[in-house]
Structure 1
């Protein structure tokens, strides 16, 4: 293995030697910060986040294709429409043994959802249980939706197509969870856009200053910013961005550092002052010596930190996963206890008969609302056990937390605030009681204005007017930031 030590030899020198030997060579722009040529994990994580955002949107909108018709059939046709409605009568007509059109459609919608969307949760639940030997939030989701789906099949089958069912519950649970994950991906996407904007602030080229020859001035050569080496002397003209971190060795200028510090007023830089890569030179030409290049620069380190923060799992999800690892066995045990308790209550005659009797919700509505046969206490016990598993599904947490993060990061972005760590940062910010700002214009809008002027009373008004005009004329020719006031 060949290890590159930047302080010993630079990338440009290596490529020049290879080129002199008759071969073509160029720096590999992979984001590697150690010269190994290996891809930067944070850059890979950023690409994964973009892919995750697209997949999250695709899954959510795909779930709507099942959730919307499920809502129409299970909530509107089966519950909202009156018995006399012709549409309700048409869909409640029994077409296969004792199963109505509505039950069959709802069953196929739920089955398609379990196969196409549930597979995503099943895979993650399997990895958590088998590989990680623990249970996370995906296990609870898979457990709750599967219980609702399988329990509905058992109930409807044993009661001849007219039993209580929770097919819509499984579909709606998945839809809400996928909505939450899509919102979470949107919140991360906003920070990704901010990161990409930071990356674009880095200039592509730089002006390399070669030592002056006898009778000639400095020789300037345009090189790629990726080829800058430690100790290179670079020239930064007015209007150009600083190509790397460094120290001013010639000239004096004003630098706009709002990119990094939020400073609205440019900062004066002179010989010996430090400059940061990506900041904007707005005044005079300067020459600088590079002290940190490429991935070692301040801007690159900021980008890397933000990328790594966005690739981490939100703190609330980590808490949910930790709770789930202990909660899943308890939920399963509770469901078993509930089932056994109701079986025992039914066997000893301690279940109220009114609880077992219900109006037929999906029978032959062409003949009106008929009383269905009371369900057995075994089915009643099964439905109660399923209810325990369904309510354990963390739908509220899976939707509420990403929604809060999306709204919070969105509002912050409107005010120019970059939330680096997503939900974890916002959660930590709630405990802040003291905020310290520097003494400069960080909190201003960067538009200085003259509010008052004072003249001596002994001078005539015409003189003061003439003096104001002279000051205005002088300031209008100046490039100083305060001259625009």
Structure 2
């Protein structure tokens, strides 16, 4: 029917009666195969006096299929101008609703893929010190109170508290902040984050389901099972809509019985069925899952996970988005953008000279800002030994006297 010439050619070549039987054979497996789920849930909701979308789909498609079946089996009972079948309508409605549910499942699958990515953040093994021995054990075997050793560049297997050593840890997977955070004795660390160039030992305080990473994964799972408010609104509308549709269909049937003339019963049945078919909510059943699929799928591609369907829906009304830290929207590592030299400096090529001195001073540091200064000074030769007091005094000659005097008052020279 999408291509009228083909439809008319089939009517002429096959005949209307045979074509109706062919459509019956094609529509019946859809109606009582995949469509059977609407009968189970829709009838149960109707019995409990809380009709939902499934109830409306069941009523609309059943009316279309039953009327078409009657026309196919006993066409002589209907006026010549009303012997139309609606097998394609019932099959297409069921297909569209199930297509919407398929899109919804695809959206959940994309969230599950993002969740699997989160699971991969946790290493498979951990180096644990038990007694005098250091053992490499599966991460599931780590117990509360175990001492876990972390080397340079490793991911932390569980949550804990640092007891020995110090290092900078990249916590961007948790906080979005790109600058690594210093961790030393007493600091809390989170499983799944990445250690920098140092090494430290921490005591396990959160393992298994108690880890922060596990809680994030549970939050994503809860978002998958939650329904956005618009779906709840649709169900509430349908709860009032179904009785209203049934009442309109009944009024239509009675009205045509009174004014339908000789074929009153047939006309009444035809028009009552038309009301039920038109009321079938294929648009509502398709639009919401498609919008969820597109929104959550695109967000997952960009690294954004929605905690709930309500959050996704309410984002459409957002006028201003406020970010609580610049690290969320930076390149992921600090860099030197500008160098300001004091006017009192008379050093030739002052900016590069200052960068070389700063890079030399930071040569032994592990801080991310130290690495940024070294990268900025990379085009120039860098002295890897820390600068001496004399070289600093020469470089910062304009401020040398004041610095020396202030330090002398405190009883020591600090440079």
**TM-score (norm. length: structure 2):** 0.79
2:89 is aligned, of 165, 169, 178, to: 169
1:134 aligns with 2:50: yes
1:111 is aligned, of 25, 28, 33, to: 28
Aligned to 1:444: 330
Cα pair distance change 1:91/1:470, threshold 3 Å: farther
Q: Distance in 1 between matches of 2:173 and 2:264?
A: 69
1:222 aligns with 2:109: no
Q: Which runs of 5+ in 2 are unaligned?
A: 376-415
Shift of 1:472: 5.8
1:461 aligns with 2:348: yes
* Contact 1:180-1:402 at 8 Å conserved across structures: yes
* Contact 2:114-2:300 at 8 Å conserved across structures: no
Query: SS state of the match for residue 201, structure 2?
Result: strand
Aligned to 1:80: 5
Shift of 1:399: 0.8
* Contact 2:123-2:156 at 8 Å conserved across structures: yes
Q: Distance in 2 between matches of 1:114 and 1:464?
A: 78
Q: Distance in 1 between matches of 2:350 and 2:219?
A: 58
Aligned to 1:10: none
Q: Distance in 1 between matches of 2:326 and 2:208?
A: 29
1:90 aligns with 2:13: yes
Shift of 1:461: 3.1
Q: Distance in 2 between matches of 1:465 and 1:315?
A: 59
What are the equivalent positions in structure 2 for 1:3-402 lying under 5 Å apart?
Answer: 74-76=1-3, 79-81=4-6, 89-92=12-15, 99=17, 101-130=18-47, 134-160=50-76, 163-211=83-131, 219-347=133-261, 376-402=263-289
Q: Distance in 2 between matches of 1:473 and 1:387?
A: 84
* Contact 2:164-2:184 at 8 Å conserved across structures: yes
Shift of 1:235: 1.2
Shift of 1:426: 1.3
* Contact 2:153-2:196 at 8 Å conserved across structures: yes
Query: SS state of the match for residue 320, structure 1?
Result: helix
Query: SS state of the match for residue 448, structure 1?
Result: coil
Q: Distance in 1 between matches of 2:165 and 2:69?
A: 81
Shift of 1:102: 2.2
The Cα offsets for residues 111-168 of structure 1, whole Å up to 9 and x where unpaired, read as 22212222122122234345x5532211111111111111122244443496122111
Q: Distance in 2 between matches of 1:462 and 1:407?
A: 55
Query: SS state of the match for residue 260, structure 2?
Result: helix
Q: Distance in 2 between matches of 1:428 and 1:332?
A: 34
Q: Distance in 2 between matches of 1:454 and 1:305?
A: 47
The Cα offsets for residues 190-230 of structure 1, whole Å up to 9 and x where unpaired, read as 11111111122122222222355xxxxxx312222222222
The Cα offsets for residues 298-334 of structure 1, whole Å up to 9 and x where unpaired, read as 1111211221231234433333333333332322222
Query: SS state of the match for residue 254, structure 2?
Result: helix
* Contact 2:165-2:199 at 8 Å conserved across structures: yes
Cα pair distance change 1:82/1:246, threshold 3 Å: closer
Cα pair distance change 1:433/1:104, threshold 3 Å: same
Q: Distance in 1 between matches of 2:228 and 2:340?
A: 56
Cα pair distance change 1:427/1:202, threshold 3 Å: same
> RMSD value over aligned CA atoms?
2.7
Q: Distance in 2 between matches of 1:329 and 1:267?
A: 61
Cα pair distance change 1:123/1:314, threshold 3 Å: farther
Query: SS state of the match for residue 252, structure 1?
Result: strand
Q: Which runs of 5+ in 1 are unaligned?
A: 1-73, 213-218, 350-375
Query: SS state of the match for residue 206, structure 1?
Result: strand
Q: Distance in 2 between matches of 1:305 and 1:82?
A: 52
Cα pair distance change 1:452/1:179, threshold 3 Å: same
Larger relative contact order, structure 1 or 2 (CA cutoff 8 Å, min sep 6):
1
How many pairs does the alignment contain?
367
Higher Cα radius of gyration: 2
